[in-house]
Amino acid sequence: MNLQVNMEHDRGVLIVRLTGELDHHTADGVRMQMDEAIQKQQCKHLVLSLQDLQFMDSSGLGVILGRYKLIHHKGGKMVISGANPAVHRLLDMSGLFKIMPVFDNEGSALSGLEVVS
């Protein structure tokens, strides 16, 4: 299965929705797309919506951690929303939830950033 990336920019927040599988085959492409959008859109915060992500491996963790560092360096916040149980478990085991919060859905993630949609 491939990975589909949908991005939306609203009031300094980049919302990235991933559908499919984030693995070693798709990691470089999504990394480049996200980096370009972060630079081009001048966004401060990032919401990573994973509700339609079926699979992720360590390459996906690297993508997430790298984007977190990029956003954090700009003084912004990154949050995760809607991870399925398998992806949630991987994120939890990796320790990423110690540095970025997870929310049930995009609305609560935006509220967590104190951005009203």
Ordered by start, the domain boundaries in the chain are: 3-112
Tokens of 73: 């360096």
Range 3-112: architecture per CATH: 2-Layer Sandwich (3.30)
Q: What pLDDT shows up at residue 1?
A: 62
pLDDT tens-digit map of 22-69: 999 999 999 999 999 998 888 899 999 999 999 999 999 999 999 999
Q: Is the pTM of this model over 0.85?
A: yes
Distances (CA, A) of 89 to 63, 93, 114: 17, 6, 26
Tell me the three state secondary structure of residue 16.
strand
The conformational region for residue 73 under phi > 0 = left, psi -120 to 50 = alpha, else beta, is: alpha
Confidence band, pLDDT 50/70/90 cuts, at residue 115 = low
